[in-house]
Each structure stands twice: as C-alpha cells, then as structure tokens.
Structure 1
Amino acid sequence: MSSSIAKKEIKKAPTSFPVRRMDYEFFATPKYWCNNDPAFTHYFTGLSALFPEGESYFVRSVRALRPQIKSNPALDRDIGAFIGQEAMHSKEHHAFHVSAQQYGLDPQSLEKATGVILTTIEKIFPKKWNLLVTVGLEHYTAVLVVEMMETIHNLISDQTIKNLWLWHSIEETEHKAVAYDMYEHLYGKGLDAYIPRVTLFTFSMVLVTLFSNVYQFVLMSRDGQLLNLKSWLKFTAFSASEYRKIIPKLMTYYRRDFHPNQTDETLLVAATKKRINLDTITRKLN
C-alpha cells in the first residue's frame, strides 16, 4: 500500500463517536420544568448557564495544544469530534436560555459572567493548566450525566428540555476520555503529571460548585423565590442524596491509575438513546 493511499484511509477513518447537528425549539417552556419547583429548576438552569461559555473554553483549551497531537491520528480525529460536540452543546443551551427570557430570569447574563471568568483564567493559566481544567470538568460532567440519565431526567416535565439534557448527557459520556487522553499523551503518567492534574481538579471543583450555587441563588432572587423555604428544603434533601452518590465517583479522579473509561455506561447510553429516539435523528458532520 502506498503512503498516499494510507494517508487517505487515515483521513477517512471514522471517529469513535458522531457529531450530531441538533436544533431544539423551546416553545411554551414551563416556568418550573424540573420537579415543578423553583429551586430545582433554577439550580439546573444555573448549571446550564455555565455550559455555553464553558464548552467554548474547553474547545479553546484543546485547540491550543492540538498541533502537538498530529502524531496520533486516532486521537486527533476524536479531538475534532469532541470540538464538534461541544460546539453544539454551547449552541443548544444558549437557545434554551433565550427561551427563559420570557420569565425575566435572564440566564444570558450568567452566561456572560461565566465568559468573563473563564477568559480571565485562560489568560492567566498556561496551556497545560487550561487543558487540565477541561480534563477535570469533563470528569465532573461525566459523573453528573450518569445521574441525569439514570434518575434526574424523571423530574423534568418538559419533553424538549428533557431531550436537551439527555442528548447532552449521552455525548458527554461518549467523549469523556478525549481531553484526558490528550493530557496523558502530552504529559505522561508520572508524578509530575499527576500532581498538577489533581491540583487543578480541586480548583475546578471549587469553581463549578461555587458558581452553580451562586447562579441558583441569583435566579431564585430574580424569580422572587429566595425566601421560599419549602422549595429550598425539598432541594436540599435532594442534593444531599445526590452528593452522597456522586462524591465517591468524583474522588476516583485522585487515584494515580485513574482513567475515565474505567466505568462503562454502554447499556445506560443505549437505553437513553432509545428513550429520546436519538439514533433516528442523528446526522454526522464530516
């Protein structure tokens, strides 16, 4: 086989997962679409407000180091698919936030605040650290989306918003190892790679926990629900139960031998795809 033919075959080789072009329409979205409750709804809307700018930051962090990955064509192709998926997540969550304007909640302002914070971090941190923030937050989302696919989606009353979260969850699971594999390819598995990995993960967890909770308070305040103790108590009980499940999973990141693919969500993803009929609406972007 000639080298030119080999190069063409490498170029045409598929990625490990598809990029799906979604275009959700958020018509008549109920005000309290999660558990018919303000605290629940505003927590997940606040979390969603981190995604458009957060996913864009992830894309920039991997693009900054992508030229050094060209020696690994398979990983480079998956990085391209990772970028495509994350771009679609940004687009669709932004569209959801635009729809929430009808209730005067203005989650777009929270998007902008997230952008300012991440742009500042990006300027201060070296490329390696920005990649590590992405790696850490990818683990965080990979853990959270399992809970979304298993149980939390049952709390969402609006089908379009449920589809948004479940589609996003599927794709986060599909590409959960890409940024980590990129980091390991570039920096190895030694102690000099491990120490910054866990240090930046700790930083990232503090950051995402702080801002997701601050955004929930802001949205509750804008909705005039800040003193709704019944709603807060219901959400506190729910979050305590969820944290008991997710904290041990998050802590696996501190193991020296950690890798995202040590957990297998194949059956859960397959069931979730069937639940939202995803396979019939999938179109690859080439």
Structure 2
Amino acid sequence: MRFVPPRIVQRRVDIDFAHVPPGPWFPDGGPLEILFNAASIAFPPTERFFIGAVRDCLGQVSDPKLREEVAGFIHQEAMHNKVHAHCNAMLARHYPNCRRTEQISIVTFRLLGRLPRWFRLSLSSALEHFTSMVADTLLRYPDEFRQVVPPEIADMWLWHAAEETEHKSVCIDVYRAVLGNGPLSYLNRVVGMLLATPLFLFVMILLGAIVLGWRRPRGAAPAAAEEPAQRQEATEEPSGSSRFLGRGMLGILWEGVPWRVYFSYYRPSFHPWDHDNRDLIAGWKERYPDFGEAGAA
C-alpha cells in the first residue's frame, strides 16, 4: 500500500493568554518550564525564517501536490508565529527581561537570513527535524503534560506539536525538489544539520539560562507555598512525564529527544516519514476534533 502522509490542515487558532498565572507551573520541574518558555520566545523569528527559506525556493517547485503542501506549511508556520507572539506578550508581563531575551533570537535569525537560499533551506530542513522530534515526544504524553501546565499553555504546545508533525516533511521535500539527491545536495544537507544542532542547543540552553536568571515572575508565590496535596500527588503518582520533571536542562534534552531519529537524518536516503508517527496526529485529532477547524481555510 502506498504511504499517504497526513493532510496539512490550515487551522485558525486564537488562544487567550490573559489569565495565565505566573509560573512556576511544572511541579519541581523548573528547567523544563524554562526550556518551554525559551522555545516560545525563539519561535516567532524561527518560524519567519522557515517561511522565507521555503518561499524563496517555491518558484523551482513544479509538483502541484508539493506546492499545495507548501501553502499549508506557510499557513501553519504563520499561525505558530502569531500564537507564540501572544504567548510571549504574556511571558513579558511576568518576566521583566523577556523582551531583551527575545532580541537574541531575532538577531540570530536576521543574520542567518543573509545566507544563500540553498543553505537557508538546508538549515530549515534540519531545524524542522529537531522540532518534529520534540513534538513526537510531547504528543506521547498529552495527559501528563496537561496535568502540570495551565490549559492555555497545553493547548498551544499540543496543537503546535501536532502541526509540526503534519508538515514535518515539507522542507526536505522542497529541498530535494530544488537541489536534487546528488552528492553536493547531501553534503549541503549534512552541513546544515551540523550547524542546526549547536544552534538548536544554543536556543534551548542559552536562552534557557537567561530565563533562569530572570527574577521570580511578578505575582508568583514562593515555592514553599505550593499546596502540600499537589506535591504529595506528584510524588505518589508518578506518570510518564515524571522522567523529565526535576532534571537539569541537559538531562531533559537527553531524555526528551529521540536521538536515534536524529542520527537517521545523516542517511543519504533519509525522509522524515521513515519515522511513521501518524498515529500521534490521529490521537490528537481524536481528542480535539474541532481545534482550529471552525476558522480553517
């Protein structure tokens, strides 16, 4: 049977973050919350970088099916940009230095935007592989994730993870349509990943370290004021997510990223759907069948 990738749905999502309380949200999981917040801060300029890299090469794509998928990809990335910008405005209300931190990501991707388009497409393909790997992990623990973050935050990240999985092959499909499968194309793709790997860690670790240096969020209660019942429940009823909570940043990245999938990227024949996780998207759609669909294009 011919493999059929999931449809890239053009959802319209609007999440109200006005009533999200200041952190900490994760019980005993400060570094994990820091990494999620750092990722949210980094995403708007990252998403714009992806859109520009793919759009600049679209003129060389003749396959109508792929062009349709590119349109869905651009829509989804633009929507991620919008929703994360709203989330970051909420974070800025709680964390005084948030906007300064955001500038690191903006300047980084502004500089990367000056690279040749063939290398920007390589870098985008590699970074999309990272985001799809993290999405894969998150979609495996939807209930546990909802237990430890505000509902608005859970809605945003689980929706984002589902869409990252839906469109995870678009960048590399465009890459191959434009640059082919020859030795130089492969070399360019590998070099892109070799740069994307420290860049991903730069965003997740350096921005996270800056977040760690922020003052306690405005209005946040001291950690000692945490409800004893909540702490006891977290201790007595460990869940699948408990292997991440309480770990340091490097430990979270080591546990949370499927590195076997990461190294598969270096195979000349690699394709994102070699790792078939369509069931995770189907599971998310079953749980949230109408999420963003009312305003979908």
Normalising to structure 1: TM-score of the pair?
0.85
The equivalent position to 1:129 in structure 2, one of 113, 116, 119, is: 119
- The residue aligned with 1:253 is 265
Aligned counterparts of 2:282 and 2:161: Cα–Cα separation in 1 = 12
Match status 1:55 vs 2:55: no
1:190-209 alignment to 2 at 5 Å? Answer: 190-209=182-201
Q: Does 1:160 align with 2:173?
A: no
Deviation, structure 1 residue 281: 4.0
Please report how far the alpha carbon of residue 238 of structure 1 lies from its aligned counterpart in structure 2 after TM superposition: 4.9
Supply the distance in 1 between the matched residues of 2:276 and 2:54 (Cα, whole angstroms): 24
Aligned partner letter, 1:33: W
Structure 2 partner of 1:89: 80
Instruction: Measure, in 1, the Cα distance between the counterparts of 2:167 and 2:260.
Output: 21
Give the whole-Å Cα distance in 2 for the aligned partners of 1:153 and 1:47: 21
1:145 maps to which residue?
135
Q: Matched residues in 2 for 1:178 and 1:251: separation?
A: 19
TM-superposition CA deviations, 1:173-224 (whole Å, max 9, x none): 0000011000111111121111110111110111110221111111111125
Q: Distance in 2 between matches of 1:20 and 1:145?
A: 18
Q: Does the CA contact (< 8 Å) of 2:26 and 2:245 recur in 1?
A: no
Q: Quick check: 1:114 aligned with 2:105?
A: yes
- Structure 1 residue 261 displacement after superposition: 1.0
Task: Measure, in 2, the Cα distance between the counterparts of 1:185 and 1:178.
Answer: 10
2:226 is matched with none
The structural deviation recorded for 1:247 is 1.6
Once residues 120 and 91 of structure 2 are traced to their aligned partners in structure 1, the CA distance between those partners, rounded to angstroms, is 31
Q: 1:68 aligns with which of 55, 60, 65?
A: 60
> What's the counterpart of residue 17 of structure 2?
26
Task: Label 1:65 to 1:42 Cα distance change in 2 as closer, same or farther (>3 A).
Answer: same
Contact 2:30 2:246 in 1 (8 A): no
8 A contact 1:97–1:106 mirrored in 2: no
Structure 1 pair 152–209 and aligned structure 2 pair: CA distance change class (3 A): farther
- Alignment partner, residue 3 of structure 1: none
Kindly indicate whether the alpha-carbon contact (under 8 Å) linking 1:167 and 1:278 is maintained by their aligned counterparts in 2: no
Any idea what the Cα deviations from partners look like across 1:11-47, whole Å, max 9, x if unmatched? xxxx932111100001332312234543221111001
Alignment match, 1:263 = 275
The unaligned stretches of length 5 or more in structure 2 are 1-5, 218-222, 224-243
Greater fraction helix = 1
Query: Is the Cα contact below 8 Å between 1:150 and 1:268 reproduced in 2?
Result: yes
Q: Provide the identity percentage.
A: 26
Cα distance in 2 for partners of 1:240, 1:135 equals 20
Which of 75, 80, 95 aligns to 1:104? It is 95
1:106 CA drift (Å): 4.0
The structure 2 residue matched to 1:273, chosen from 235, 260, 285, is 285
The number of aligned residues is: 263
Aligned-residue offset at 1:157: 2.2
Give structure 1 regions of 4+ aligned residues with deviation exceeding 4 angstroms. Answer: none
One-letter amino acid matched to 1:279: D
Provide the residue aligned with 2:241 in structure 1.
none
Q: What TM-score results when the alignment is normalised by the length of structure 2?
A: 0.82
RMSD of aligned alpha carbons:
2.4
1:249 Cα offset (Å): 1.4
Q: Is the 8 A contact 1:94 1:108 kept in 2?
A: no
Which amino acid in structure 2 is aligned with residue 185 of structure 1?
A
Q: 2:212 & 2:84 partners in 1: Cα distance? A: 19
Shift, 1:285, TM fit? 4.6
* CA displacement 1:70-121 (0-9 Å, x = unmatched): x211111111110000000011011111111232244333333211111111
Aligned partner of residue 82 in structure 1, secondary structure? helix
